[in-house]
Structure formats: C-alpha cells, structure tokens
Amino acid sequence: MSEPVLQIFYGISSPWAYFGAQRAKNIAEAAGAKLVLRPIRIIEANGGIPLRTRPDSRQNYHAVELDRWRKFLDIPLNLTPRFYPCRTVEPAAQAVISAQQAGLDAFAFSFAIQRALWAEDRDIADLDTLRELALATIGAEGAALVRDPQPEAIIAQWHDNLAEAERRGIFGTPTYVVGDELFWGQDRLDFVARALGATQHSKETF
C-alpha cells in the first residue's frame, strides 16, 4: 500500500494557514502520511479576493474570527501585524519551496515565517529576516537558499503550485488535499484526519 500524502496549498501570509500548520503536521505524523507544502498566491482565477479589497463588513468580521480562533487555539497572533499585508510573499514562499526540494525541514522554516509575521511583528518580505529564520530552523544550508530571484526550477514550482491549485478547483487557503478530496480551512482538519485514516487503513477496511 502506498504512503498516504497530505498536501497543503496555502498562502505563506495566511493567518488561517498559520493557525492550522502545527495541527496539520501532527495529523500527518499520526497517520504516517507524507506532508507536502504547496505555497501559492491568491487564486483569483477561482474567485480568491485579497482581504483589503473586500467590503468593510467582511474585513471586520475577519478580525472577529481571528480573535475567536486565537483564543480558542491558544496561539499567539497580532490582530494588526505591523507588516501585513506583506509587500511581497514570493521570496518567503519560494524559499520554502527551495528548502523542501533540498530535503530540509521545510515545515519548521515555513512555520517560523508564519509566526514571525503574525506573532513577532517581523517583515517576512525582507531577505535578511528570512535568512535569520532559515538559519535558526534549517541551518546555514537553508539560509543559503534564501535568494531573490530564485533558480528557474524553484520559480517553475511556484507557478506550478498555483496552476495545480486552479486545476483542482481550490479557491482559498489553506486547502488540505488528501487524494482528490479538498478540505478548505483549518477548521476542517478533523475531516482531514478522518480522510488520512481511511487512506491509511483502506486495505483493511475495503
């Protein structure tokens, strides 16, 4: 039986992806699943809308929900982070892709970036900041992978992540993918766990 896989399509600056990151990793580990990070930008082709262009009522409710969830999950989060919206997410997202392709702990690096933005008021668009985060989580080899522009293969993967998200019908992040099933939002992680459990034990169950 093949190893189950949990793919996460997410915006590196998404607070919801930050909320769900550690729990998704724990679920994957418990299921013996491979975790694959697929950083993407907003999927406008499928209806994704940048937060700051949404009506005020939606933006206000977004803040209410963030406050509820940070308290419920007991995860530190600034409701008005200094460097959000980010000037750009591409250097951070592409550095995570590069770390993953190099076989380093891309999750630890990615989560450090998310925490830096949402809990530490750090600028994740700044290359020196990214190098500091990489050095602390994946070492000097990882810090050397933080660059702008990235090699063509990394940029190609960045574009492929978005194209794959569009193809699958993903419209928001984080979206967790198990097989062909989509689970949008960190509040769907219980269903992700069930799907991975079914995948893992499908030989015995069916």
HEC profile of the chain = CCCCEEEEEECCCCHHHHHHHHHHHHHHHHHCCEEEEEECCCCHHHCCCCHHHCCHHHHHHHHHHHHHHHHHHCCCCCCCCCCCCCCCCHHHHHHHHHHHHCCCCHHHHHHHHHHHHHHCCCCCCCHHHHHHHHHHHHHHHHHCCCCCCCCHHHHHHHHHHHHHHHHHCCCCCCEEEECCEEEECHHHHHHHHHHHHHHHCHHHHC
For residue 140, the enclosing domain spans 5-205
Q: Is the pLDDT of residue 182 over 80?
A: yes
The pLDDT confidence band at residue 74, using thresholds 50, 70 and 90, is very high
**Between 46 and 107, the higher pLDDT residue:** 107
Q: Give the pLDDT confidence score for residue 62 in this predicted structure.
A: 83
pLDDT tens, position by position, 93-133: 999 999 999 999 999 999 999 999 999 999 999 999 999 99
pTM of the model: 0.90
Q: Which of 57-66, 71-80, 118-127, 176-185 has the lowest mean pLDDT?
A: 57-66
Q: Is the pLDDT of residue 204 over 70?
A: no
Which of 134, 51, 49, 123 lies closest to 100 in space, CA to CA? 134
Measured between its terminal Cα atoms, the distance across the chain in Å is 13
Q: Give the pLDDT confidence score for residue 202 in this predicted structure.
A: 39
> What type of residue is 94?
Q
Token look-up 């009522």 returns 57
Q: Which of 59-68, 95-104, 127-136, 188-197 has the lowest mean pLDDT?
A: 59-68
The mean pLDDT of 13-20, rounded to a whole number, is 97
Token look-up 């380093």 returns 104
Q: Give the pLDDT confidence score for residue 3 in this predicted structure.
A: 84
Q: Give the pLDDT confidence score for residue 45 in this predicted structure.
A: 59
Phi-psi domain of 174 (left: phi exceeds 0; alpha: psi -120 through 50; beta: other): beta
The mean pLDDT of 32-48, rounded to a whole number, is 82
Q: What is the mean pLDDT of the chain?
A: 91
CATH of the domain at 139: 3.40.30.10
Which of 50, 46, 40 lies closest to 174 in space, CA to CA? 40
Q: Give the span between the Cα atoms of 162 and 132, in whole angstroms.
A: 27
Q: For the chain, how many structural domains are there in total? A: 1
